[in-house]
Structure 1
């Protein structure tokens, strides 16, 4: 392990550490946005759902372009522009007072995130030898969750459910992250992969490449439903707990659930990934979908904190199965010259994050926070709709790799 760590590129370490601090400050602000909008601004659950969803909608519309453009003009320019733009977004949140301003700023939030993140993941793939890729991807995922362990608790203490001040801290941290990236790019310019010198295909041709991939397409559709289930944790569940009179302090309970989610990831990630890596790469996604769907059912029937916390652990196991192996699966499917495009295109699975807060908000408006089963049973069933698509992807990938070995 120590030998592999020593061979990780300094830029990769910058992205991993920057991701940790970035998620620390975003997890002490963004997850509480839906609670702030309903409890402070007085928005309805549906209005809140639409405002939260616009971030993912903007991400879906531009995520492909982020990866595609970074293949053509280079990772450096795309990452620097998007990270400093992201800092500006957080300052916008800090100064927002009206619902329409939150809507606009959150749309820009999704745009910046969905340009920066696929590009940074493609850069990690570029600068990391094949034997270290699983380690690097999982270090990045561990960094995400290490930040989220402490972020929600800090956010609770700073009053994130009632104040926009934590967004100011997030903006300052992202400026610092951008400055460190700028210096690292300058120092390691010689080792940076050059942009593709081949004639750039049209965007239509690039979309055609991924849409014709008989393995990638069902993976994409299946993971839309997986992300749909995952998206309810920070949107529908947050509002449900804040509005449900059965729980005396829903905002505080939600912050503890966020932290438990992150701690559980750190505890179970390594053994789960070590075990899951022995199976065909789509199998962990199948198991992850089942765990997330079951956990949503349990959230709906939980009458006490103990079952809620158990549901968080089950949800987290599903999350780890879904997201720790996804980067490796995409890296395995994608052709080298199209990696940025594939990493960008998989961002279309964020359609699930677009649908989740709106669908959940409509159910809360219709049935109320006092009727958990009526809200969460439909959420669990729609999540499970991803299973047939993932099964199809598994069969196709197995047949493809068997044919290549002949």
Structure 2
């Protein structure tokens, strides 16, 4: 433990601990949430997808303020507030039985998520030297994968016995994480100069803010194709599986566990192996892998091809997501790391707001194969644009 503390530091280890707890309970819930809402509400597919979209829509609005709030009042305070929101929302889901209650507690969950992610990323960046950040982000994702490997099997058992208990486990996990942060996580020190720069930043107009932060906002917009892909996998692909496999819940569980195991085994080695590569090369390889994986998801009607596609998808994820977060951390001024991670993370919220509903309409009209072929084309176009963007930023702002 002392060696781990020396390598990563206490704040990062607490983030690892919390990611493991919430990763397990989140993975217990994630594969079955859509089916749970569908069964409890007894409505059609589109109303359920609208409830699913309530969280990311909230995150879009809150994230715009969350980064600046993180930089002004401190990482620790924002993380505590975020975990409190998520604890209340998980407990509330246990008692909800109406579409508006589900939407309300999902909005609370969205507020917590929007506050937490930029604060956590900024805390990690503050506590980690530049050359080790990709490794830390990779370890974080691997721990999330470890939770995801354990969670779905436990989730299937709990879902078969009493589905609402999954929310109880999640509430307990958020509460334990809150206690760890409250008693053990320090607040990073901020210099007087950083405070002065923050005050000056707050006086900028919206137009000047956009121009001032154009690089990170460009990276964010060009990441939408990838997060749009994730949004379909988290929503409409689970409905598409029902048309491809007879025992689709079992298939979904096997796929989710295998994806998690692949993430655990591939994440850190791939990040370490690609650390010497230029970010342009990483973007090129990753987007090609994502596009081919989208085609794979369109046509994989056997476990073998589904898991082969998962290998390709995980390889793309391991390279792109970790290195792009490090790229953003180097672009960000020291006093605005929370804001930069908030800006960059908006692409997830945008995609998860519009993706399930738009994808659901396309799925209903044209089918799952057409949906994922369209995603493959969108990802390929996004990859070309992202390659050009990072090339330009590397020239104008060498890191």
Match of 2:119 in 1: 119
CA contact (8 A) 1:67 1:344 kept: yes
| Superposed CA offset, 1:29-80 (max 9, x none) | 1332112223443332322222212211211211232121011111121111
CA contact (8 A) 1:19 1:144 kept: yes
Match of 1:96 in 2: 96
State the alpha-carbon separation in 2 of the partners of residues 135 and 271 from structure 1: 9
CA contact (8 A) 1:49 1:360 kept: no
**So what's the TM-score if we normalise by structure 1?**
0.89
State the alpha-carbon separation in 1 of the partners of residues 62 and 346 from structure 2: 9
Question: Is residue 295 of structure 2 the alignment partner of residue 297 of structure 1?
Answer: yes
CA contact (8 A) 1:126 1:193 kept: no
Match of 2:356 in 1: 357
Change (3 A) 1:102 1:30: farther
Change (3 A) 1:303 1:316: same
Match of 1:320 in 2: 318
Higher helix share: 2
State the alpha-carbon separation in 2 of the partners of residues 269 and 12 from structure 1: 18
CA contact (8 A) 1:86 1:109 kept: yes
Deviation at 1:160, TM superposition (A): 6.8
Deviation at 1:373, TM superposition (A): 1.9
CA contact (8 A) 2:225 2:375 kept: no
State the alpha-carbon separation in 1 of the partners of residues 364 and 316 from structure 2: 28
SS of the equivalent of 2:246 reads coil
What pairs up with 1:7-406 in 2 under 5 angstroms?
Answer: 7-159=7-159, 163-185=163-185, 188=186, 192-193=189-190, 196-198=194-196, 199=199, 201-202=201-202, 205=205, 208-209=208-209, 211-242=211-242, 244=243, 246-350=244-348, 351-367=350-366, 371-401=367-397
State the alpha-carbon separation in 1 of the partners of residues 226 and 119 from structure 2: 22
State the alpha-carbon separation in 1 of the partners of residues 371 and 191 from structure 2: 50
- Could you list the structure 1 runs, at least 4 aligned residues long, displaced by more than 4 angstroms after superposition: 2-5, 191-196, 203-207
SS of the equivalent of 2:227 reads helix
Deviation at 1:203, TM superposition (A): 7.2
**So what's the TM-score if we normalise by structure 2?**
0.91
SS of the equivalent of 1:233 reads helix
State the alpha-carbon separation in 2 of the partners of residues 42 and 207 from structure 1: 46
State the alpha-carbon separation in 2 of the partners of residues 337 and 130 from structure 1: 15
CA contact (8 A) 1:230 1:292 kept: no
Deviation at 1:210, TM superposition (A): 5.3
Task: List gaps (5 residues or longer) in structure 2.
Answer: none
State the alpha-carbon separation in 1 of the partners of residues 335 and 112 from structure 2: 23
Give the stretch that moved more between structures: 50-59 or 17-26: 50-59
CA contact (8 A) 1:206 1:341 kept: no
CA contact (8 A) 1:40 1:162 kept: no
Change (3 A) 1:51 1:131: same
Deviation at 1:174, TM superposition (A): 0.7
